[in-house]
A and B are shown apart, each in its own frame.
Chain A
């Protein structure tokens, strides 16, 4: 039951948001929700380490079962609560295949976003190269152009794999995040349309991050992508 579940999360983190969206979609509101601050390094606190030796958010418990990896938690919740809330994995083989495909590509997308946005955090000063920054940005551009094509025919009810699914749960937060960092709606009109179509979906609207980022100088980092 929801009351046996605990989610430790941080605001504006796409992986955290994925789990929050699934909990809403599966009618599992009522879980213990602990908002922590990345700024204050609370993701490295003992309460997180007790659940997650990696000191990362989200950290999620269902009773004594721990699933911290966001896509893993989403799949677990859909499988355990198949009969309640929204059906998030389609039955038809073709849609199901597409859903799993886009869901896992969503992981690649997030990595390429992170490689650009977190470059200074991931790479020590003495190892940074302009050529690497340029290459990371080009890789992200190529990636986003692929998704722009995937979303060519996006419309209400016709999202990444047809009806709203785990693919959207995993990928939507990535795009919302990218737009917060200045991604251009003119350059990526289909992605912008996709975001707009789903922004009022209850599970997304009620859980929209209150706070996105702390470092103002990174605010426009994806503007030129």
Chain B
């Protein structure tokens, strides 16, 4: 049950957010929620390393069972709690196939986002180049056009894999939420904007919205020209 679960997480981390959305959707509120500070490097603390040899968040335990990779935790939770909360893997073959496809494209999507917004975190000062950052921004633009196209083809009001809210939305919405937090233009990406506006009202997403985004609603403008 939820009280045997512990999630170590950081505010604004999309992988952490994925697991939190899944826990909400499966009605597993009541888990031990440990918010750690990235600024204070708490994600590299003993508490994390005791669960996760990679020293990363999310780190997730259910009793003695440890599942740290965010997608893995989402699959595990859906599988173990299939009969409660939202059905996150659709039965329809078509929706299921599309769900898996979009979920795993979501990994590339997230990588292209972080290559831009966390450029200075990943790349030591002596190696940073304007040309590299530009290249990453161009790659992100191409990726965004793909997703804008996907949403356009799905039609207004649709989730990523069809009518139902699925694991594809669980794992990809945090990336999209982060894009807009960092200044992505809704004018340039109207379909992504529509999807974002629709899903940000979903209870599981509202309940797990990054706390520091609530404290400071302004956000950044890193991606305004992407």
Q: Residues of A with Cβ closer than 8 Å to B?
A: 53-54, 62, 64-73, 75-76, 79-80, 93-94, 96-97, 100-101, 103-105, 107-108, 123-124, 126-127, 129, 131-132, 135, 146, 149
Chain A residues, CB < 8 A from B71: 100, 104
**Distance of A62 Cα from B69 Cα, bound (Å):** 28
Asked if A146 and B100 make an inter-chain contact with CB atoms under 8 angstroms apart, the answer reads no
Chain B residues, CB < 8 A from A108: 69
Q: Is the interface of A mostly helix, strand, loop or mixed?
A: helix
Chain B interface residue count, Cβ-Cβ cutoff 8 angstroms: 38
Asked if A65 and B131 make an inter-chain contact with CB atoms under 8 angstroms apart, the answer reads no
* A89 and chain B: residue at smallest CB distance: B79
- The answer, yes or no, to whether B67 is at the interface (CB within 8 Å) is yes
Q: Is the interface of B mostly helix, strand, loop or mixed?
A: helix
Q: Per-position contact with A for B106-142: 1 when CB-CB < 8 Å, else 0?
A: 0110000000000000001011010110010000000
**Distance of A94 Cα from B65 Cα, bound (Å):** 6
Most chain A Cβ neighbours within 10 Å, of B53, B71, B132: B71
Top 3 A-B residue pairs of the complex, sorted by shortest distance between their CB atoms: A69-B104, A72-B100, A104-B69
Indicate whether A126 sits within 8 Å of B131 (C-beta atoms), given known contacts A93-B80, A103-B72, A146-B54.
yes
CB of A99 to closest CB in B, whole Å: 8
Most chain A Cβ neighbours within 10 Å, of B64, B69, B131: B69
- The answer, yes or no, to whether B225 is at the interface (CB within 8 Å) is no
Asked if B62 and A97 make an inter-chain contact with CB atoms under 8 angstroms apart, the answer reads yes
Most chain A Cβ neighbours within 10 Å, of B62, B100, B132: B100
**Distance of A101 Cα from B79 Cα, bound (Å):** 14
Q: Residues of B with Cβ closer than 8 Å to A?
A: 53-54, 62, 64-73, 75-76, 79-80, 89, 93-94, 96-98, 100-101, 103-105, 107-108, 124, 126-127, 129, 131-132, 135, 146
* A63 and chain B: residue at smallest CB distance: B93
**Distance of A132 Cα from B127 Cα, bound (Å):** 8
* B103 and chain A: residue at smallest CB distance: A72
Which residue of B68, B72, B100 is within 8 Å of A67 (Cβ)?
A: B100
Asked if B72 and A97 make an inter-chain contact with CB atoms under 8 angstroms apart, the answer reads yes
Asked if B131 and A127 make an inter-chain contact with CB atoms under 8 angstroms apart, the answer reads yes
**Tally of contacts, chain A with chain B, CB under 8 A:** 92
Chain B residues, CB < 8 A from A146: 53-54
CB of A81 to closest CB in B, whole Å: 11
Which residue of A68, A107, A132, A149 is within 8 Å of B101 (Cβ)?
A: A68
CB of A50 to closest CB in B, whole Å: 15
Could you list 25 A-B pairs, sorted by A, with CB under 8 Å?
Answer: A62-B97, A64-B94, A69-B103, A69-B104, A70-B104, A72-B100, A75-B100, A76-B96, A76-B97, A80-B96, A93-B62, A93-B80, A94-B64, A100-B67, A101-B68, A101-B69, A104-B71, A108-B69, A123-B132, A124-B135, A127-B131, A127-B135, A131-B127, A146-B54, A149-B53
Asked if B129 and A66 make an inter-chain contact with CB atoms under 8 angstroms apart, the answer reads no
Asked if A104 and B100 make an inter-chain contact with CB atoms under 8 angstroms apart, the answer reads no
Beyond A71-B104, A97-B72, A124-B135, 5 additional pairs, beta carbon < 8 A: A80-B93, A94-B64, A100-B72, A107-B107, A131-B127
**Distance of A103 Cα from B131 Cα, bound (Å):** 34
**Distance of A95 Cα from B77 Cα, bound (Å):** 14
Indicate whether A127 sits within 8 Å of B129 (C-beta atoms), given known contacts A66-B97, A97-B72, A100-B72.
yes
Asked if B94 and A65 make an inter-chain contact with CB atoms under 8 angstroms apart, the answer reads yes
Chain A residues, CB < 8 A from B97: 62, 65-67, 76
Asked if B67 and A72 make an inter-chain contact with CB atoms under 8 angstroms apart, the answer reads no
CB of A142 to closest CB in B, whole Å: 9
**Distance of A149 Cα from B127 Cα, bound (Å):** 32
* A99 and chain B: residue at smallest CB distance: B72
CB of B169 to closest CB in A, whole Å: 15
Asked if B72 and A65 make an inter-chain contact with CB atoms under 8 angstroms apart, the answer reads no
**Distance of A69 Cα from B66 Cα, bound (Å):** 25
Asked if A101 and B104 make an inter-chain contact with CB atoms under 8 angstroms apart, the answer reads no
Asked if A97 and B127 make an inter-chain contact with CB atoms under 8 angstroms apart, the answer reads no
Asked if B103 and A104 make an inter-chain contact with CB atoms under 8 angstroms apart, the answer reads no
CB of A95 to closest CB in B, whole Å: 10
CB of A89 to closest CB in B, whole Å: 8
Asked if B93 and A65 make an inter-chain contact with CB atoms under 8 angstroms apart, the answer reads yes
